[in-house]
Amino acid sequence: MLKKLNLVTASIQMALIAGAVSSSVAVANEQTETKSVERIQVTGSRIKRFNLTSPTPVTVIGGVELENQGITNVNDLLAEMPQATVGLSPENTTSFIYASGLNTTDLRGLGSERTLVLVNGRRFVPGSVGDTAVDLNNIPTSIIERVEIATGGAAAVYGADAVAGVVNIITKKSFDGIEVDISTVKPEQKGGEDHTFSITGGQELDKLSFIASLNYTKNESYAKLDRDFYRNSMRSIANPADTGSKDGIPGNIALNGQTALARYSEKGDFFAIAPGADKTRDVYLNDHFAFQEDGSLQPFNYGLGLIPDPNPKISELAAGRYFHDEYNMGDGVFTQGAKSYFRTPLERVIASTYGTYEINHDHALTFDATWSKTESTTQSGPAFFAYKIHRDNAFVSDEMGKIMDDVTYTDKDGNLVEGIDSVTLYQANSNLWGDRNYEQEREVFRSSIGLEGIINDDWGYSTYFQFGRVEQDTTWTGEVLEQNLLSAVDATVINGQTVCAKRNSEGDIIGQIDGCVPFNPMGATSATAEQMGYISTVATRFARHDQAVFAATVDGVLFELPAGYVSAAFTAEHRREVAEKTPSENMAKGLIFGNSSLPMHGEIEVDELSMELSVPILVDEFLALDLTFEGAYRYMDYSVTGEDDAWKLALNWGVTEELRLRVNRSKSVRAPSLGDLFAPASTQFSSGRADICRADSIKKLSDSYEYKKNIIKNCQAAGLPEGWMPSSEWLAGGSLEGSIVGNTELKNEVSNDLTVGLIYTPEFIEGLDFTVDYWSFEIDGAIQYFDRKNTVENCYESESLDNLFCKNVIRGENGDIEHFYQRPINSAQIVKKGYDFESAYRFDAMNGEMALKLAATYIAKDTQNSTGLANDLRSFTGLTDDSPRWKGRFTAVYSQDESVYALTVNYRHSTVDDKGWTIEANNFNEVPSYTTVDFMYKSYVLEDLQLRLGVSNLFDKEPPRTPETFDSGEFYDVNGRRFSLGLKYNF
């Protein structure tokens, strides 16, 4: 079956795993007489070679390693690799809407959008509509032969988005027989189970060979409160002992224990205070009332009591919360961990096939198809509202009316006022509208047909057409038509009938709202069908992304030099991508609580031409066993962003049989995605009420903080006087609403990359290999979204208000932030540098074979300049959320007869939360190192029956216990110790 083009032997895999290279490896071709050597292709180049010299650093993960880890999704293993980090996963999308359940990888921590994922050297349809990152849920693990990770110069070979590198998933091309695999994973604590089933079959005939597989996986969700370490919860609070910014006392401290938000009860609660009055601790204790089921009022129940209050005014970290336990929950709905999950539930089915039909000895037809369906649900608490209840509301009871009338205060003119005209009713009731669930259903279809073969003894070709489509259906349940609800709760009596009040701008009732159905929320536990029909709703959005690719490559030998053959590859590629999003009417009009989405249509076409060249310069000379120049150039013409190019220049120098050096200099590009370009405005929520212009925020800044003067100057220039604080209503609010929107003026990112490597294979220790590579990425015009916190900070930390960020912050007349925008902009400069270390040692031991492998990455520099101005440079090296200095992975695999024992150790170095930290900030900045250990045993208990037994997180390691990390499932294991059982049968 065209072994000249397809042969990849176990020896090739071993050489790549170790990073070793050889100048004279040749494999006999047993099925053709036209050549005595084979040409093989490795990730990082489209040139098929006569030796195993890798033009770029390549790490290979064999399919057996996935099995040894009991892994059913390749992203789970990639996330543990030192050179990669988590992109999106079910563990970090529990609060996401459109991205829930996605599994994407992120090389170098530069973002999933800068990592190109290929399947058998070809692009794969993105996992989410309008995006570029591939959802690894759609790759069937059962037919993965190996995964190759290449960095340096990849964009010149494969095109845009390969800035950080390429993850090339190589699948099995044929199979003879049938294989059934079933496995289950059971955590020691409740929830989080995994169940997997796969059946793979195929046949190798004279001219036709094929493989087909069906995979089913179900990953169960588990709540945060299902884990014992979370039930002993913690958070950060303002330190009651803090006296100022220069007293050497931490401004914030860690607080252990479960807490709850001291408002938003199920049946409604309100504060009986004067308009604009601060919610002091005394107000919480004496003027805060909660409705009971019969409509009566009681003081708000604070469970085990309010947490310490460092000052008489409300603090979002202190007086606004109370302690509780399972027996003393209090009236608050939003208890810590309630309706919160460590993992999004995920169910997926994948059917795939790959085949080759040999037309003759020199030409073959290839075909493949993949269909997958994934379902996931993001679960959240009920919709929450702060209603304005007027004193003249028909639903105000005598008891409530008396409480409002008994409030007395002095107005701004010094006059004594008796009674208040309105209160704010806080309510979050799942019994009325249900909890909010965001159900995602993604269906992917991808198919290709190709022709590959041999033109003559020196040249071959490969051409294919590929089409892929992802359809994404999103359904929101538990949603509320916000304006309808606000109208329904404001009732009055007209002609003896309770109706919805129509008010003028002064708040006076001037009639009724036609078609409105009144609803009394105070003490309510249910609603009538008519009320539900008017207020509650279900929202939907359908989205589709199509990708069509046509590509043709010819590769072969140009001519022969004294040092060897000059090889080349030429590729032409055309790609078209179209994305569409169609929301339901209530979403498009922004009628539902918390979410809105407008229709979107975006498309882009790109034509590309590329050339690769491999030129042997020296061979068998003193201190030059071989010396080869590698070059590549790619021209790209984008229909939106215009023309661009990418290139690489590399040298491979075999100094001796033991030592090899390599250097790679390249330019890479990343094109904006369809979502970056064309995304319509959609709702985004930012948790918390942080604002750098708040007086208490400025007070916490150290005088040595380099941007403190800019912050004070710009906040005042924005009309916020010294000592300004947001209104108490704003502080008491929940998540702040904003919008994400695209930008059609974006340009391509440009990255200048450098890789310098050394490969050492000492002859005096057989089976030992050692590789070290220095790598550097310098990205200009990086496309970046800024969340609300960073947008606000960048706005006011800049030299003036005339910058790219301030226009995305909308303040009201009183200075409160009312809205924010997240627009992608080519504003950032990113520099990341480090070292990769890899060593493998294989030797005989105890009548078997031991294979040791150590891989580690050291981050030397990780900086980002968000605006391009010198004073906006930030260093993220050693930060918890970005770049731990060291990440390492050690595996020890012992094989004897039919049994395998595999031990894996993953290490993450200690980090800090804030590099500008001082003791005045808090007492929990340092995060300790983190190590987990996994073990797997597998053996053939019968001739065709394999048994696998494993333990993940063998020592039940919990996340580091700090307020920022104790519940972080992105970088730490929150599932705890779990046991796996698997069976595989071949027949």
Q: Rounded to an integer, what distance in angstroms lies between the CA atom of residue 860 and that of residue 883?
A: 9
* Contact of 242 with 251, CB cutoff 8 Å: yes
Q: Rounded to an integer, what distance in angstroms lies between the CA atom of residue 54 and that of residue 12?
A: 11
Query: In terms of DSSP H, where are the helices of 870-924?
Result: none
467-477 pLDDT per residue, tens: 999 999 999 88
DSSP state of 671: P
**Residues with Cβ within 8 Å of residue 387, at least 6 apart in sequence:** 424, 425, 427, 486, 489, 490, 521
* Contact of 46 with 553, CB cutoff 8 Å: yes
Q: Whole-model pTM?
A: 0.85
Helix (H) / strand (E) containing 858: strand 848-865
**Residues with Cβ within 8 Å of residue 432, at least 6 apart in sequence:** 382, 521, 524, 525, 526, 527, 536
Q: Which of 796, 788, 784 is nearest to 817 (CA)?
A: 788
According to DSSP, the residues that pair with 170 across neighbouring strands are: 146
pLDDT band at 881 (very low <50, low <70, confident <90, very high): confident
Q: In the block, which residue shows the tokens 């009596």?
A: 493
Q: Rounded to an integer, what distance in angstroms lies between the CA atom of residue 254 and that of residue 928?
A: 16
650-662 pLDDT per residue, tens: 999 999 999 999 9
3 state SS of 44: coil
Q: Which of 465, 520, 452, 524 is nearest to 491 (CA)?
A: 520
Given a cut of 60, is residue 34 above it in pLDDT? no
Q: Which of 955, 974, 978, 964 is nearest to 223 (CA)?
A: 974
Q: Rounded to an integer, what distance in angstroms lies between the CA atom of residue 406 and that of residue 321?
A: 27
3 state SS of 633: strand
Q: Rounded to an integer, what distance in angstroms lies between the CA atom of residue 366 and that of residue 368?
A: 7
3 state SS of 311: coil
Helix (H) / strand (E) containing 178: strand 177-187
Q: Rounded to an integer, what distance in angstroms lies between the CA atom of residue 104 and that of residue 120?
A: 18
650-708 pLDDT per residue, tens: 999 999 999 999 999 999 999 999 999 998 877 778 877 889 999 999 999 988 888 89
pLDDT band at 744 (very low <50, low <70, confident <90, very high): confident
Predicted pLDDT at 279: 84
Given a cut of 50, is residue 573 above it in pLDDT? yes
537-550 pLDDT per residue, tens: 999 999 999 999 99
Q: Rounded to an integer, what distance in angstroms lies between the CA atom of residue 490 and that of residue 389?
A: 7
- Work out the number of other CB atoms within 10 angstroms of the CB of residue 543: 21
Q: Rounded to an integer, what distance in angstroms lies between the CA atom of residue 890 and that of residue 837?
A: 12
Pairing, β 945-952 against β 416-418: unpaired
Q: Rounded to an integer, what distance in angstroms lies between the CA atom of residue 106 and that of residue 108?
A: 6
Counts of helices then strands in the chain (DSSP H, E): 17, 53
Pairing, β 873-875 against β 899-908: unpaired
Percent residues over pLDDT 90 in the chain: 68
Predicted pLDDT at 827: 85
Mean pLDDT of 850-873: 89
3 state SS of 29: coil
Mean pLDDT of 104-112: 92
**Cα dihedral sign, 942-943-947-948:** positive
E strand residue ranges, 297-401: 297-299, 305-306, 321-323, 341-343, 346-358, 363-382, 384-390
Predicted pLDDT at 44: 66
How many residues does this entry show for the chain?
987
Q: Rounded to an integer, what distance in angstroms lies between the CA atom of residue 66 and that of residue 77?
A: 7
pLDDT band at 438 (very low <50, low <70, confident <90, very high): confident
Given a cut of 50, is residue 14 above it in pLDDT? no
* Contact of 177 with 152, CB cutoff 8 Å: no
DSSP state of 879: B
CB-side exposure of 891: number of CA atoms within 13 Å? 25
* Contact of 263 with 335, CB cutoff 8 Å: no
936-968 pLDDT per residue, tens: 999 999 999 999 999 999 999 999 999 999 999
Please state, in angstroms and as integers, the Cα–Cα distance from residue 717 to each residue in 593, 723, 815, following that order: 34, 14, 12
Predicted pLDDT at 51: 45
Q: In the block, which residue shows the tokens 């609010």?
A: 733
Percent residues over pLDDT 70 in the chain: 93
**Residues with Cβ within 8 Å of residue 44, at least 6 apart in sequence:** 54, 55, 56, 58, 150, 152, 153, 154, 157, 166
Helices 708-717 and 788-797, packing angle to 10 deg: 90
Predicted pLDDT at 37: 42
Provide the mean pLDDT of the chain. Answer: 89
899-928 pLDDT per residue, tens: 999 999 999 999 999 988 999 999 999 999
